[in-house]
Amino acid sequence: AKYSLSRIIFHILSITLGLLFLFSAFSKTIPISLFIDNIYNRFSITYQAASMLERFIIGFEAGLGVLLIIGLYGKWRWVLYSVFGLLVAFTAFILVIWIQEGNEADCGCMGEMVKLNPMWSIIKNIVMLVMVIFLILKDRKKESTSRYYFAWIIPVIFICYPFIFVPGELGIDKMYAA
């Protein structure tokens, strides 16, 4: 048997995580203004900076999702470590919301399609963190140089995509106004 049960579970977890990341990214674009407002209202940054940060997060999340689905983790498994780091950052953000606003708040983590209070968001993220840890520990592939370079292209494309194709006023010139 070429594929053991462990390898099948590995691929199922990678694809599941990838689909969750893709769903999370794209659900934040419907409508995009709600997630921008979410960032703007919780951080001391300009609306334009919130708009840019939001588009970067959506693109990076979508790019990582695609890489997880196709099982391309890049040199030194940077994709898996990036997913881990993003989940830790999201969990810290949700924890702050929970402390400041209570468990009735909605972090907007899954866009408007799935409303999660902070407690369920954190539980979801812990489950996803366990999945990523499993993938990091069980990944045995050696990435070739061409696959390594290809892995970088996908997130770059997805990070650029929301800036180009998701409507909304970025007002980048206003960000630097006095």
pTM for the model: 0.84
| Number of CB atoms found within 10 A of residue 105's CB | 16
pLDDT of 5-52, one tens digit each? 888 999 999 999 999 999 999 888 887 788 888 888 888 888 888 888
Distance of CA 130 to the CA centre of its chain: 16
In sequence order, the 6+-apart residues with CB closer than 8 A to the CB of 23 are 65, 110, 113
HSE at residue 89, side-chain half, CA atoms within 13 A, is 8
pLDDT of 155-164, one tens digit each? 888 888 777 7
